[in-house]
Structure 1
Amino acid sequence: MKGNLAIVGLQWGDEGKGKIVDVLSEKYDIIARFQGGHNAGHTVYIDKEKVILHLIPSGILWKHTTCVIGNGVVIDLKALKSEMSMLENLGVSLERRLLISKKAHLIFPYHVTYENQCEESLAEKKIGTTMRGVGPSYEDKIGRRGIQIADIENLQYLKEKLSLNIDYYKHYYRVNKNEILEAMLNEIVHVRPHIVPYLADVTMYLTDKMEVGDKILFEGAQGTMLDIDHGTYPYVTSSSTVSGGICTGLGISPTKIGSILGIMKAYVTRVGGGVFPTEIYTNEAEIIRQKGKEYGATTGRPRRCGWLDLVALKYACTINGCESLAVTKLDVLDDFDKIKICVAYQHKNEILTDFPSELWILQECTPVYKEIPGWKTNTHSLKNYDDVPLQAKNYLKAIEDYLGCSIALLSNGPTRKDIITVKGIE
């Protein structure tokens, strides 16, 4: 592998990015997260032990790496402290291995309260957020009333900003303002000594490290179809999940991103509300859900399951500039006699091969499927691509041919060892 590498999700999140980041981190010096919050859940397995990370990059489990949380991430201090403690209890050292951008914005209890009330008001049209306050924190950031993590170093300055924000959200509170303010400040005073030593100018750190030849792996959260600009708006997350978000979320030049690896499941899942053209409504969905353990790492909610959507994937590959792909959970499809792939949408009397920008058109689309025979063979234990069944190879080739992008990695299980290298990643 040469140079830096960006890892981005190509679907509605939950593609297995955490595992791929963990596998590839061995070859990189720095792992950098550029967006999202603790609404993300990256699951990795170490010696059969399940580890779920929400804020700290998955590469932290390799002893040689330095992990970076960028300015594009929004942080709940209590959640961050909890995650740090969890890792330390597992014997993972964070000292001189974790850096947090001073410009990252914070999540406060009023964000969570506000988000809950907003979701309740939408009733059956609710977005289906994780209720972690992530969206409202980004809302404050754009509204220029956000509070950056560096502000916890100056309690008087922080108190003034918090006071203004509590006034802004006063319609969502029914308790005394001073009580809320003091409770928030007391919690910050408690966690501050554990957080401040890790604060840094992340942009300068990454720039300096690249100049001496260190290699960076950029870790995305959620997926392209949840991107605030390019996803199925308004049923999206509140950050830029695509490769372009690396530049703004870490403060680095587009010329420094390097290669881009898109992560996709061999099928599709989605959590929460929103259009899902290839969603399965038969028992096949439950088969996928059970075998693939399709329950949210953050919320525990059952994921909606569907057949592979190549129209949406082509769109995602184009936006991100993907040069290669990693296909995860191939083994989940081992038992199917036939497998469907969506190759177009039908909208009224028209066949669409481009992903529609208009939500109302997408809602009226039905998938045009191509059926491929299943391989009916256990692929979970395979280590070499030569041993992959012919029908599974045909399935993968159909993906490559449609997307015009080669598959570099196959994941056929949850652990680091459950990986098949198809071709090298440049």
Structure 2
Amino acid sequence: MAAIVLIGAQWGDEGKGKATDLLGEKLQWVVRYQGGNNAGHTVVLPNGETFALHLIPSGILTPGVNNVIGNGVVVDPSVLLAELKGLEDRDVDTSRLLLSADAHLLMPYHVAIDKVTERFLGNSKIGTTGRGIGPCYQDKIARVGVRVADVLDEKILTQKVEAALEVKNQILTKIYNRKGLDPNEVVDGTLELAEGFKHRISDTRLLLNHALERGETILLEGSQGTLLDVDHGTYPYVTSSNPTAGGAAVGAGIGPGRIDTVLGILKAYTTRVGEGPFPTELFDEWGAYLAKTGGEVGVTTGRARRTGWFDAVIARYATRVNGITDYFLTKLDVLSSLETVPICVAYEVDGERVDDMPMTQTGFHHAKPIYEEMPGWWEDISGCRTFEDLPKNAQDYVLRLEELSGAHISCIGVGPGRDQTIVRREIV
């Protein structure tokens, strides 16, 4: 077997945790390959228990699965330990969680700078979560970051923190009029926290490649979604890493040739959190309906998600950019009881029809949706377990999304529960 990439095909929050959970019993490894605790997955177990995960891969809830926080992730030690404790308090076995030695540590000064920068930007803010993710990735790219392995050598850790704070404290005190941080306190605090995760630090690249050589199956799990990718998303309203499928190989340390399936997650409508353009966004009673019926609140931030109708333009874009082979369509049940269901099939930009993503930031900001309306359905579909169980209009809606998106819709979510899924084609 080879590796499978799980990627959000919109702006994130599409329900990736449900897909991971569905595949969990067929996997030996689940790897989180990018992002930090600025995103989350919600998983609902058959007994009704709900888990919100932020840093830890969703495979932690499936017994026997090995879980890896990969080198492409930025890790806040305090958040990691709190999340581990929360799971262990609920009798979840966390012994199979490993942490890449090359992942970067999110430090207190990253959080401080993130918060003051967003406040300073005012109306021009990006809409970050204020958790220090961007500043941590900035340090990584600037080659002044602190990596997980550095907690194993106090001398190196101290040198790196002192060098970082020489600059960061100048920014905090002289630009933003905030109090600087004491290097010794930062080092001591980091080493104290490290006692709780040092035993998990591993050469995860080596372990994953050996697993592939043994024929084991690995799921590479991203956070956020395609349109939040720093290269391929709606820049500058994006995250600071590459959640697209290409980032999976880099963020896990395996060759791209090992990946043979890319599973995209699509919500049956569209949502996004934070600032930035959103062509199909609804500001009327239908937007409120989708938000309320779909429970559209961010898992990590608690922020209300903006809602809109399905956007086939960004779905086609996601298929191309990620090389998506299969789609998992989630929350189809939320659309039940609508008389008609609009689908955005193209945009109008400056009076012209555009069928693909506009090339420029200005073009996307000016994009107006061109809708095609599908007849709705009134039936409760939460108990459907085969495609044929769905009402004819619901089937037609799914098939139209499949045609417009350019990849096979292999799974369909008809409710939040683990068993509330229709499988049209096996992924593994």
TM over 0.5: same fold? Answer: yes
Name the CA distance, whole Å, in 2 between partners of 1:23 and 1:184.
Answer: 40
Indicate the residue corresponding to 2:212 in structure 1: 210
Q: What is aligned with 1:400?
A: 402
Structure 2: which amino acid aligns with 1:4? Answer: A
Q: In structure 2, what is the equivalent of residue 332 of structure 1? A: 334
- Give the distance between the partners of 2:33 and 2:99, measured in 1 at CA: 11
The aligned residue for residue 151 of structure 1 is: 150
Give the corresponding residue for 2:64: 64
Name the CA distance, whole Å, in 1 between partners of 2:406 and 2:238.
26
Instruction: Select between 167-176 and 106-115 the one with higher mean Cα deviation.
Output: 167-176
Normalization by structure 1: what TM-score? Answer: 0.97
> 1:123 and 2:92 equivalent?
no
Counterpart residue type for residue 55 of structure 1? L
Summarize deviations over 1:180-217 as a string: whole Å, max 9, x none.
Answer: 22322232232222211101111111011111111101
Q: CA deviation at 1:69?
A: 0.8
Alignment of 1:134-173 (within 5 A): 134-170=133-169, 171-173=171-173
Report the equivalent of 2:265: 263
> Any idea what SS the aligned residue of 2:185 has?
helix
**Identical residues among aligned pairs (%):** 41
* Within-5 A mapping of 1:8-407: 8-46=7-45, 47-95=47-95, 97-170=96-169, 171-173=171-173, 180-407=182-409
1:277-309 CA distance string (max 9 Å, x none): 000111111111111100011111100000000
CA contact (8 A) 1:112 1:132 kept: yes
Q: What is the alpha-carbon distance in structure 1 between the residues aligned to residue 159 and residue 3 of structure 2? A: 41
What is the RMSD computed on CA atoms of the aligned residues?
1.3
Letter in 2 for 1:234: P
Q: What's the CA shift for 1:64? A: 1.0
Q: CA deviation at 1:349?
A: 2.1
- Give the 3-state SS of the residue equivalent to 2:289 in structure 1: helix
Q: Is there any run of 5+ residues in structure 2 with no aligned partner, and where?
A: none
The amino acid across from 1:422 in the alignment is: R
2:69–2:100 CA contact under 8 A, matched in 1: yes
Residue identity opposite 1:168 in structure 2? V
Mapped to 2, the partners of 1:357 and 1:104 lie a distance apart of 33
SS in 2 for 1:424: coil
SS in 2 for 1:169: helix
Instruction: Work out the CA distance in 2 between the residues paired with 1:247 and 1:169.
Output: 32
**8 Å contact 2:2–2:212 — kept in the other structure?**
no
Deviations 1:195-253 (A, max 9, x none): 11101111111011111111101111100000000000000000001000011101110
SS in 2 for 1:87: helix
Q: Select between 321-330 and 85-94 the one with higher mean Cα deviation.
A: 85-94
- Rounded Cα–Cα distance in structure 2 between residues aligned with 1:250 and 1:318: 22
Contact 2:172–2:179, Cα closer than 8 Å, also in 1: no
Deviates most, 121-130 or 55-64: 121-130
Which stretch has the larger CA shift, 277-286 or 184-193? 184-193
Q: CA deviation at 1:351?
A: 0.5
**Cα distance between partner residues in 2 of 1:124 and 1:308:** 28
What amino acid is aligned across from residue 23 of structure 1 in structure 2?
A: L
Shift of residue 271, structure 1, vs aligned partner: 0.4
How big is each residue's C-alpha offset from its partner over 1:339-361, in whole Å with a ceiling of 9 and x where there is no partner? 11000100122100010121111
The structural deviation recorded for 1:175 is 7.3
Please list the CA deviations of residues 84-140 of structure 1 after superposition, one character each: whole Å capped at 9, or x if unmatched. Answer: 111111112222x11111000011111111111211122112111111100110000
Distance 2:158 2:178 in 1: 18
Q: For the residues of structure 1 that align with 2:97 and 2:427, how far apart are their CA atoms?
A: 26
Q: Which residue of 2 aligns with 1:423?
A: 425
In structure 2, C-alpha distance between the alignment counterparts of 1:25 and 1:181, rounded to whole Å = 42
- Choose 120-129 or 215-224, whichever is displaced more: 120-129
Count of residue correspondences: 423
In structure 1, what is the Cα distance between the partners aligned to 2:226 and 2:92?
Answer: 31
Secondary structure in structure 2 of the residue aligned to 1:346? strand
Counterpart-to-counterpart distance in 1, 2:182 and 2:379: 58
- CA deviation after TM superposition for structure 1 residue 404, in Å: 2.3
Is the 2:269–2:308 Cα contact (8 Å) retained in structure 1? Answer: yes
Please list every run of at least 4 consecutive aligned residues from structure 1 whose deviation after the TM superposition is greater than 3 angstroms. Answer: 173-177
Q: Which amino acid aligns with 2:277?
A: V
Contact 1:125–1:273 under 8 Å retained in 2: no
Counterpart Cα distance in 2 of 1:315 and 1:189: 44
* Matched letter for residue 400 of structure 2: A
Deviations 1:39-86 (A, max 9, x none): 011111122122111111001111110001110000000000111111
C-alpha separation between the residues in 2 aligned to 1:49 and 1:172? 43
CA deviation string 1:142-197 (max 9, x = no partner)? 011111011011112111110111111112146776x6223222322322222111
Unaligned stretches of 5+ residues in structure 1: none
Distance 2:179 2:219 in 1: 46
Q: Which amino acid aligns with 1:119?
A: E
